[in-house]
Amino acid sequence: MSDESRPSPTEARTAAVIPAAGRGVRLGPGAPKALRALGGTPMLIHAVRAMAASRAVSLVVVVAPPDGAAEVKSLLDAHALPERTDFLVVTGGDSRQESVRLGLDALPPDYDIVLVHDAARPLVPVDTVDAVIEAVRDGAPAVVPALPLADTVKEVEPAPVAGDPEPVVATPVRARLRAVQTPQGFDRATLVRAHEEVTEDVTDDASMVERLGNTVLLVPGHEEAFKVTRPLDLVLAEAVLARRRLNDGF
C-alpha cells in the first residue's frame, strides 16, 4: 500500500456490504441475477469494482446466493480487483434485509462507516460512492443517493388480483418525491442498531434508520446507478457499458 492511499489514523475506515443473494425472479429464468453476465463479466463483479473504485473503501463483503459462496469466491479470485481492497464472502438469507444483516455480522471491528450496495446496481459511478461516504464522514448517520421522479406516482388500494383495476387513494406532489438508489452509507453503529430493533419488512436500509428516529440525508444520485430489475434494464446496462468503452477508447 502506498503512503498516498493509506488513510490517516483519524480517518474512519469504510467497508461496503453487497447483498447479492437474490434470485432475480423479475429478470426471468436463469442463474441468480448477480451472477449473470453484463458485457461478458458477472454483474456482481461490476458492483464490487464500483465499490472498490473508491479509495476510501478498504473492505468489500459480498453476500452470496445460497449455495453460491464458493462460486463467488472463485469469481473474485479470477477478476483483477485493486490491491488495497480486501474481500469477504458470506451466504445470504431469505430477504434482502436478512442478507444485509448477515453481511453486517461478518464485519471486522475496525470499520466505522458502512455502505450497503445492491449487486443489482452494477454501474454506479465512483463519484456517487464518494459523495455518499463524504456526507457520512461529515456527520450524517445515514446518507442515500436519490433522483427526482420522471413519472407521477399514485397511491392505490391494491387489487387482490394482480392486473385488476385499482382505485386511486392519493397523488403525492411529485416535486417532493425522490427515487432512492444505493450505495446507502451509514454510521456503522446506527445501522447495526437499526437491524437489531426494526423488525418490519422494509425495502431499503435507510428506512430502518428513519424508524429509529434518526435523520436520513439525501445526496444527488446518478442515472447510471439504476437497478437491473427487468429484462429491459439489461439492454440499458449493456448500452451504458458500450458507451463507456467507446469513450475510454478516445
Closer to ligand CTP at the Cβ: 72 or 209?
72
Number of C-alpha atoms within 13 angstroms, CB side, residue 80? Answer: 0
The dihedral of CA 140, 223, 24, 39: what is its sign?
negative
Q: What CA–CA distance (Å, rounded) separates 48 from 123?
A: 10
How does DSSP classify residue 168? Answer: E
Q: Which of ligand CTP, Mg ion, none interacts with 24 (beta carbon under 5 to 8 A by kind)?
A: ligand CTP
Please tell me whether residue 227 binds ligand CTP under the rule CB under 6 A: yes
| Cβ-contact 63, 103 below 8 angstroms | yes
Q: Which of Mg ion, ligand CTP, none interacts with 99 (beta carbon under 5 to 8 A by kind)?
A: ligand CTP
| Cβ-contact 22, 96 below 8 angstroms | yes
Which of the ranges 86-94, 146-154, 158-166, 170-178 carries the binding residues for ligand CTP, by CB under 6 A? 86-94
Which of the ranges 21-29, 162-170, 185-193, 215-223 carries the binding residues for ligand CTP, by CB under 6 A? 21-29
For the record, the C-alpha cell of 76 comes out as 473474485
Closer to Mg ion at the Cβ: 21 or 133?
21
Site for ligand CTP in 52-81 (CB under 6 A): 63
For the record, the C-alpha cell of 244 comes out as 463507456
Closer to ligand CTP at the Cβ: 215 or 231?
231
Q: What CA–CA distance (Å, rounded) separates 47 from 99?
A: 16
Site for Mg ion in 12-41 (CB under 5 A): 22
Which of the ranges 79-87, 89-97, 151-159, 193-201 carries the binding residues for ligand CTP, by CB under 6 A? 89-97
Q: Which of Mg ion, ligand CTP, none interacts with 204 (beta carbon under 5 to 8 A by kind)?
A: none
Please tell me whether residue 91 binds ligand CTP under the rule CB under 6 A: no
For the record, the C-alpha cell of 152 comes out as 407521477
Which of the ranges 70-78, 94-102, 106-114, 233-241 carries the binding residues for ligand CTP, by CB under 6 A? 94-102
C-alpha angle 116-108-106 in degrees, rounded to nearest 5: 60
For 130, residues 6+ apart whose C-beta sits below 8 A from its C-beta are: 54, 56
Q: Which residues make up the interface to ligand CTP (CB under 6 A)?
A: 19-26, 33-34, 63, 92-96, 99, 118-120, 227, 229
